[in-house]
Amino acid sequence: MNEAQRLVDLIPRLRRYARALVGDRATADDLVQDTLERAWAKLHLYRRGTDLRAWLFTVMHNVHVNRVRAARPTDLIDDEMPELAQRAAQGDALLVRDLDRSIARLPAEQRAVLLLVTLEEMSYEEVAHTLDVPIGTVMSRLSRAREKLRTMMLGQSAAAAKQLKLVK
């Protein structure tokens, strides 16, 4: 199959990654759009026989980094940010909403690694290649991303438990 068609076939996956990376749908779709425009323009630079998916996700990564830089100077993580656990939802819904919000609070480079490993199921080598970092960096970012997320979730669970007690 020709790479133009393969590129089109990859759009839904790009979109999934973008949604998890930037959170809201409109911004994510804009990111996909910018990525596709760049990818079409650069397709002649893609080397046949190499990994088109890695190439395309690299394009998205670069577009994303540029967009974030242009939009705001910092992609900050604030571990001290108080949790506002006011939602009435319970059980799984609570976890889901907390998780996508928590993802957004990860440092961008850790978030990218975690999402490429978890959603795209890229090998660690492919992630290293896509993000152009050493594999050791991939492993340490993955480890830190997971631990940070877990800590946030545990903190939220504790906060939620406290709130339930207050309601009683």
Q: Which residues bind other proteins (CB under 8 A)?
A: 1-5, 8, 11-13, 15-16, 19-20, 29, 32-33, 36-37, 40-41, 43-44, 95-96, 99-100, 103, 114-115, 117-119, 123-124, 139, 142-143, 146-147, 149-150, 153
> What is the 8-class DSSP label of residue 73?
S
Q: Which helix (H) or strand (E) holds 76?
A: none
Which residue lies nearer to other proteins by CB, 123 or 166? 123
Name the amino acid, one letter, at 126. Answer: E
- Closest to 60 (Cα-Cα) out of 123, 103, 105, 10: 10
C-alpha 159/C-alpha 165 separation (Å) is 10
Q: State the minimum distance, in angstroms, from the CB of residue 29 to other proteins.
A: 6
Q: State the minimum distance, in angstroms, from the CB of residue 167 to other proteins.
A: 25
Number of residues that make up the chain: 168
Which residue lies nearer to other proteins by CB, 26 or 167? 26
Q: State the minimum distance, in angstroms, from the CB of residue 100 to other proteins.
A: 6
Q: State the minimum distance, in angstroms, from the CB of residue 74 to other proteins.
A: 25
> What is the per-residue burial (b if ≥16 Cβ within 10 Å, else e) of 127-143?
bbbbbebeeeebeebbe
Give the other-Cβ count within 10 Å of 86's Cβ. 6
Which residue lies nearer to other proteins by CB, 81 or 118? 118
Which residue lies nearer to other proteins by CB, 127 or 167? 127
Q: State the minimum distance, in angstroms, from the CB of residue 107 to other proteins.
A: 16
Query: Contact, 8 vs 43, CB < 8 A?
Result: no
